Protein backbone atom coordinates (compact mmCIF):
# COMPACT_ATOMS: atom_id res chain seq x y z
CA UNK A 1 0.00 0.00 0.00
CA UNK A 2 1.34 3.40 -0.95
CA UNK A 3 -0.07 6.90 -0.80
CA UNK A 4 0.93 10.51 -0.40
CA UNK A 5 0.52 12.79 2.62
CA UNK A 6 0.90 16.50 1.85
CA UNK A 7 1.81 19.27 4.29
CA UNK A 8 -0.65 22.16 3.95
CA UNK A 9 1.09 24.72 6.17
CA UNK A 10 1.16 25.20 9.94
CA UNK A 11 0.28 21.77 11.38
CA UNK A 12 -2.16 20.70 8.64
CA UNK A 13 -1.73 17.68 6.40
CA UNK A 14 -3.93 15.85 3.92
CA UNK A 15 -3.55 12.26 2.88
CA UNK A 16 -4.78 10.85 -0.40
CA UNK A 17 -5.72 7.21 0.08
CA UNK A 18 -5.33 4.47 -2.53
CA UNK A 19 -9.13 4.12 -2.52
CA UNK A 20 -9.48 7.70 -3.77
CA UNK A 21 -10.39 9.57 -0.57
CA UNK A 22 -8.71 12.53 1.09
CA UNK A 23 -8.21 12.64 4.85
CA UNK A 24 -7.56 16.03 6.45
CA UNK A 25 -5.44 16.12 9.60
CA UNK A 26 -4.47 19.02 11.83
CA UNK A 27 -3.44 19.84 15.37
CA UNK A 28 -5.55 21.87 17.77
CA UNK A 29 -4.92 25.55 18.28
CA UNK A 30 -3.14 24.80 21.57
CA UNK A 31 -0.53 22.85 19.55
CA UNK A 32 -0.04 25.36 16.72
CA UNK A 33 -2.75 24.06 14.41
CA UNK A 34 -6.05 25.51 13.29
CA UNK A 35 -8.32 22.52 13.99
CA UNK A 36 -8.80 22.02 10.26
CA UNK A 37 -8.94 18.24 10.45
CA UNK A 38 -8.95 15.22 12.69
CA UNK A 39 -5.99 14.46 14.93
CA UNK A 40 -3.98 11.44 13.73
CA UNK A 41 -4.66 9.73 17.08
CA UNK A 42 -8.41 10.20 16.55
CA UNK A 43 -8.07 8.62 13.11
CA UNK A 44 -6.19 5.68 14.63
CA UNK A 45 -8.99 4.99 17.11
CA UNK A 46 -11.60 5.39 14.35
CA UNK A 47 -9.59 3.01 12.17
CA UNK A 48 -9.57 0.33 14.87
CA UNK A 49 -13.34 0.70 15.40
CA UNK A 50 -14.08 0.82 11.68
CA UNK A 51 -11.96 -2.24 10.97
CA UNK A 52 -13.53 -4.36 13.68
CA UNK A 53 -17.01 -3.05 12.81
CA UNK A 54 -16.60 -4.11 9.18
CA UNK A 55 -15.45 -7.55 10.36
CA UNK A 56 -18.45 -7.96 12.67
CA UNK A 57 -20.99 -6.90 10.04
CA UNK A 58 -19.39 -9.28 7.54
CA UNK A 59 -19.39 -12.20 9.99
CA UNK A 60 -23.00 -11.62 11.13
CA UNK A 61 -24.17 -11.34 7.50
CA UNK A 62 -22.46 -14.66 6.71
CA UNK A 63 -24.42 -16.09 9.66
CA UNK A 64 -27.56 -14.66 7.97
CA UNK A 65 -28.41 -12.56 11.01
CA UNK A 66 -30.42 -9.35 10.51
CA UNK A 67 -28.72 -6.25 11.96
CA UNK A 68 -31.10 -3.34 12.49
CA UNK A 69 -28.63 -0.87 14.01
CA UNK A 70 -25.04 -0.88 15.17
CA UNK A 71 -22.75 1.67 16.76
CA UNK A 72 -19.62 1.57 18.87
CA UNK A 73 -18.47 3.67 21.81
CA UNK A 74 -14.69 3.85 21.76
CA UNK A 75 -12.32 5.00 24.49
CA UNK A 76 -8.58 4.87 24.86
CA UNK A 77 -5.79 5.61 27.31
CA UNK A 78 -2.43 7.05 26.32
CA UNK A 79 0.90 7.07 28.11
CA UNK A 80 1.84 10.32 29.84
CA UNK A 81 5.39 10.28 28.46
CA UNK A 82 6.35 10.65 24.82
CA UNK A 83 5.70 9.06 22.43
CA UNK A 84 2.33 9.02 24.28
CA UNK A 85 1.26 5.79 22.59
CA UNK A 86 -2.08 4.20 23.29
CA UNK A 87 -1.74 1.76 26.16
CA UNK A 88 -5.31 0.49 26.00
CA UNK A 89 -8.49 0.86 23.96
CA UNK A 90 -11.98 -0.27 24.80
CA UNK A 91 -14.80 -0.74 22.30
CA UNK A 92 -18.37 -1.20 23.43
CA UNK A 93 -20.40 -2.71 20.57
CA UNK A 94 -24.08 -1.77 20.66
CA UNK A 95 -26.14 -3.89 18.26
CA UNK A 96 -29.86 -4.09 17.62
CA UNK A 97 -31.75 -6.88 15.92
CA UNK A 98 -32.73 -10.51 16.37
CA UNK A 99 -29.20 -11.48 17.32
CA UNK A 100 -28.30 -14.51 19.48
CA UNK A 101 -25.77 -13.45 22.11
CA UNK A 102 -23.39 -16.34 21.45
CA UNK A 103 -23.16 -15.43 17.75
CA UNK A 104 -22.50 -11.76 18.50
CA UNK A 105 -19.80 -12.73 21.01
CA UNK A 106 -18.25 -15.08 18.43
CA UNK A 107 -18.20 -12.34 15.77
CA UNK A 108 -16.55 -9.88 18.17
CA UNK A 109 -13.99 -12.47 19.27
CA UNK A 110 -13.12 -13.38 15.68
CA UNK A 111 -12.58 -9.74 14.78
CA UNK A 112 -10.60 -8.96 17.93
CA UNK A 113 -8.44 -12.08 17.96
CA UNK A 114 -8.04 -12.95 14.27
CA UNK A 115 -9.25 -10.58 11.56
CA UNK A 116 -8.83 -6.89 12.41
CA UNK A 117 -5.51 -5.96 10.84
CA UNK A 118 -5.61 -2.43 12.29
CA UNK A 119 -5.87 -3.53 15.91
CA UNK A 120 -3.16 -6.12 15.33
CA UNK A 121 -0.89 -3.36 13.99
CA UNK A 122 -0.82 -1.44 17.28
CA UNK A 123 0.55 -2.47 20.66
CA UNK A 124 -2.33 -1.22 22.81
CA UNK A 125 -4.38 -3.75 24.74
CA UNK A 126 -7.85 -3.95 23.17
CA UNK A 127 -10.82 -4.89 25.35
CA UNK A 128 -14.45 -5.20 24.35
CA UNK A 129 -17.97 -5.28 25.74
CA UNK A 130 -21.35 -5.37 24.03
CA UNK A 131 -25.08 -4.73 24.25
CA UNK A 132 -27.81 -6.36 22.19
CA UNK A 133 -31.11 -4.49 21.99
CA UNK A 134 -29.96 -2.23 24.87
CA UNK A 135 -29.21 -5.18 27.18
CA UNK A 136 -25.58 -5.25 28.33
CA UNK A 137 -23.92 -8.56 27.51
CA UNK A 138 -22.57 -10.85 30.20
CA UNK A 139 -20.05 -12.92 28.26
CA UNK A 140 -16.39 -11.99 28.63
CA UNK A 141 -14.57 -11.13 25.43
Please give the Cα distance from 11 to 127 (Å, whole number).
Answer: 32
- Give pTM, 2 decimals: 0.90
Please give the Cα distance from 39 to 42 (Å, whole number).
Answer: 5
Please give the Cα distance from 41 to 73 (Å, whole number).
Answer: 16
Please give the Cα distance from 78 to 87 (Å, whole number).
Answer: 5
Q: What are phi and psi of 65, to 5 degrees?
A: -105, 130
Please give the Cα distance from 129 to 135 (Å, whole number).
Answer: 11
32 falls in which pLDDT band (50, 70, 90)? very high
Give which of 67, 78, 74 is closest to 103, Cα–Cα: 67
**What confidence score (pLDDT) does residue 52 get?**
97
pLDDT tens profile 90-106? 999 999 999 999 999 99
Helix, strand or coil, per DSSP, at residue 108:
helix
Cβ contact 76:61 at 8 Å: no
pLDDT tens profile 66-99? 999 999 999 999 999 999 999 999 999 999 999 9
Please give the Cα distance from 16 to 2 (Å, whole number).
Answer: 10
Residues 6+ positions from 7 with CB-CB distance below 8 Å:
13
Q: What are phi and psi of 53, to 5 degrees?
A: -65, -45
Amino acid sequence: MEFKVQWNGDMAFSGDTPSGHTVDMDAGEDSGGKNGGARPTELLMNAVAGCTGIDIISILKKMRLPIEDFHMDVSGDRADEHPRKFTSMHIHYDLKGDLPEEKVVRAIQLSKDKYCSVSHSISAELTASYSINSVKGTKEI
